[in-house]
Amino acid sequence: MIKVAVLGSCVSRDNFNSAFVLDYDDYATCVVHQNQISMISLNSKPIPYDEKLIDNLPPFETNHFTTE
């Protein structure tokens, strides 16, 4: 089984979405998805911050914020 990490947008991720590609999981597993990450963030060192201050975002957005 091929493991795939997706850095990109919905267009990239949709290749690993059974709503669009019914049998994708017969060939590959999407192990991580980072949505719309900036190249600056991708190539930068982490910036320390207090996670308790990020309390006003829904869980999906909170996850993308903390992983970027």
Residue pLDDT, tens place only, 4-61: 988 878 888 888 889 999 999 999 998 988 888 888 888 889 889 888 888 888 988 8
Burial of 58 (0-12, 13-18, 19+ CB in 10 A): exposed
What is the predicted pLDDT for the residue at 3? Answer: 95
Q: Are 48 and 20 within 8 A, CB to CB?
A: no
What is the predicted pLDDT for the residue at 2? Answer: 93
Express each pLDDT in 45-54 by its tens digit.
988 988 888 8
What is the predicted pLDDT for the residue at 23? Answer: 93
What is the predicted pLDDT for the residue at 19? Answer: 92
